[in-house]
Structure 1
């Protein structure tokens, strides 16, 4: 029996064992943000460590960080001529609140129909255990055809504050040819897909100061500038009548969509009518010349996330506010950087803010965009693996949101970070009644096996 078929057969024969492994890990309430769960975090890390040791992985360690440990392990028996895959994952989960909205205990996994319900089921313990199960299936048959390393952290749900420092300190240990991040989903149970691009993020707070204190609008209105109006005018000027952002240099590094990419994205089951219905709006709006799907995933944006100025309580108060504040986020695409758009925002404010006020811009958060070329080795291997298991070619998608760790790994390690997972859009991530669709879990194990063998080719 060919090597991948032997491993696939092993996985099918041990599917109940692999389900029980997942249930065992889901019973551990590894909530990273709550100090009371420190012991549970250590238990979850130990469970993964023990799993790696049971497969005779080498150099298995539970490595401390400033908060929660990273689990590392490696199997390099394929030799120096074989490629090395680094699997990234996380074992921490979100808090389960509000508990009253769960239909069952979030840490007592329950199967209803084809779905397994528990906190962390889809995000992302099922993805982690699926890959561990795939590795076990290969180890116990013909062996791993490539070198495999694991880096599984415990801080993803709190923003991975220790990860950058960890990667820099352990760059040689983590060296690889390809990184795989399974913290993602496919479009539907019968529609495999690969996310090949993610948008980045730049988040700012703009603060405007006018008079030293709030003033009476009857006495001073018309004689001095109103910070709320100034800020409103500045924000309004950040976008032109065609929906394009006016910050200096904003589009200088934007990688345009190719005709081939646009044709591929047009195959997705999400046309303009779908986006309008999902948003519940009367009409769509945005940069001219692009579909809603393209604007929401492959074009950069600027959005106001919050505004604050003056009197906002019930009733009326004729105040001329001394201050105004706006929180603004920008979604970035390759090859923009948070630093570049920050410079553009500062230049815009210098050129457009009137001398009647003072202003400051604070950078609150930033993460680079990420992209894996669709003709890369990892994408080709993933496509073949999906097609072998699902019986159809996967669709290619771009994600409008940001996964900071993907860009972090690509920038720090200089390798592609492939997004390949088996969750579903309706898995209730971070919400009550989170679930994992079990048919996807089992097919995910087989897909990981076939993906690994495709990389060996």
Structure 2
């Protein structure tokens, strides 16, 4: 604890210098999606390699067909756990430039009337400010103790904002080097300004396009109406039958691999400052439409879904055309949780449709991606260590939350490297990432550094 206290003190003392280092990185316009900024992306990678080398990491720029990766290693105490820290140095384009109050790549620290401060620049929150919180924690450990409390590999990507085309081949080619006991992913948010969060679950996804055909051509609805099968009717009926009156999915076997969230976790969610009315009210809705008896947070974080994302058939142009369409199409997606198998869910859905198909109809399916959910065990010792470390730093205890969407790299770490991830970030919902005037709270940057120092110390205790 004495060593940790000195490290935290070092971070406090050197906050202004850490802001200067972050500002130097923010000045580099590393826009990965625009070929005109290719050299700037390399410059950002080289900057990070230089900074990591300066504090004792063995760091290098790694070539890819696209923008380079940064990989850095630092040894830890004998038998100490090995962590892989992931972030990305590339940023989104800045358009529309006219809406920026200051230059997108001219970082400024702005003070508010209440004394709080924010760092304004493209990439300040997504993800340069976030990744620098970890590097600064490592810097303070080296300055105060001469080493790190655990073995650390840092992996920084340069194409996250442009679809990560080089990521999977790089992971496959460097599997042994990048594999660790756990991945630390910083590209996430806190629950609110005083409550840190660890994202323990990311829902998976299955996408299916269904084309249902009946007659050999579109038919006159007066001449054939009542006698001919209407594929729009058939498909609509099948889709409607996927849910019962309570909101449960009726596809046989759909819930076979769905576990219940532990009661203590549900209780912690109930204690969060969350309003279903406000959440839905922001988009003009008011009544939760999912499974009855489930809270909105349960519905979006820990329950699977079946959603129709698009449906079409027949004449949809201007005016009116009285036809019975020859075919109807729908795009359907499933969000998966826990141990649900994407292939099993896809097969169950297809059988569900085929079992309800009239004799005069045929169906064709087209898959559109499939990935399993990511769920960190709620009783994971590393999760509990990290949760306590964050709680020791912030005004309110850390909460374990879910995420309705997905972070692709987390799934790749799991499937390709066999590694679980701790998702710990210090962004806020109003940081305006991907938008003009992106900002990162000074509190997030400062206490983020201190938080990572506490997390690393806790992990290093074994």
Aligned to 2:40: 40
> Which of 271, 281, 285 is the aligned partner of 1:277?
281
1:290: Cα distance to partner? 0.9
Q: Distance in 2 between matches of 1:430 and 1:353?
A: 45
User: Closer, same or farther in 2 for the Cα pair 1:171/1:435, shift >3 Å?
Assistant: same
Matched, 1:353 2:357: yes
> Which of 322, 332, 335 is the aligned partner of 1:331?
335
Give the number of equivalent residue pairs. 455
Unpaired segments ≥5 residues, structure 2? 112-116
Q: Is the 8 A contact 1:106 1:118 kept in 2?
A: yes
1:77: Cα distance to partner? 4.2
Aligned to 2:293: 289
Q: Distance in 2 between matches of 1:51 and 1:20?
A: 13
Does 316-325 or 178-187 show the bigger shift? 316-325
Q: Secondary structure at the match of 1:218?
A: coil
Aligned to 1:318: 322
User: Closer, same or farther in 2 for the Cα pair 1:387/1:328, shift >3 Å?
Assistant: same
User: Closer, same or farther in 2 for the Cα pair 1:34/1:206, shift >3 Å?
Assistant: farther
Q: Is the 8 A contact 1:198 1:401 kept in 2?
A: yes
Aligned to 1:181: 185
1:164: Cα distance to partner? 2.6
> Which of 102, 105, 119 is the aligned partner of 1:104?
102
1:185: Cα distance to partner? 0.5
1:448: Cα distance to partner? 0.5
1:434: Cα distance to partner? 2.1
Q: Distance in 1 between matches of 2:250 and 2:165?
A: 33
Q: Is the 8 A contact 1:275 1:293 kept in 2?
A: no
Aligned to 2:114: none
Does 155-164 or 17-26 show the bigger shift? 155-164
Q: Is the 8 A contact 2:277 2:287 kept in 1?
A: no
Q: Is the 8 A contact 2:251 2:348 kept in 1?
A: yes
Aligned to 2:80: 82
Q: Provide, for residues 197-253 of structure 1, a one-character-per-residue CA deviation record: whole Å limited to 9, x for no partner.
A: 121111222222334443433333333222322221221111111111122321111
1:433: Cα distance to partner? 2.6
Matched, 1:421 2:425: yes
Aligned to 1:115: 118
Show structure 1 runs of 4+ deviating over 4 A. Answer: none
User: Closer, same or farther in 2 for the Cα pair 1:45/1:245, shift >3 Å?
Assistant: same
Aligned to 1:65: 64
Matched, 1:452 2:430: no
Aligned to 1:137: 140
User: Closer, same or farther in 2 for the Cα pair 1:436/1:261, shift >3 Å?
Assistant: same
Give runs of aligned pairs for residues 303-452 of structure 1, distance below 5 A. Answer: 303-452=307-456
RMSD: 2.0
Unpaired segments ≥5 residues, structure 1? none
Instruction: Report the TM-score when normalising by structure 1.
Output: 0.94
Q: Is the 8 A contact 1:10 1:141 kept in 2?
A: yes
User: Closer, same or farther in 2 for the Cα pair 1:223/1:28, shift >3 Å?
Assistant: farther
Q: Distance in 1 between matches of 2:73 and 2:100?
A: 38
1:134: Cα distance to partner? 1.0
User: Closer, same or farther in 2 for the Cα pair 1:82/1:373, shift >3 Å?
Assistant: same
Aligned to 1:93: 91
Q: Distance in 2 between matches of 1:64 and 1:215?
A: 58
Q: Is the 8 A contact 1:194 1:419 kept in 2?
A: yes
Q: Secondary structure at the match of 1:219?
A: coil
Q: Secondary structure at the match of 2:92?
A: coil
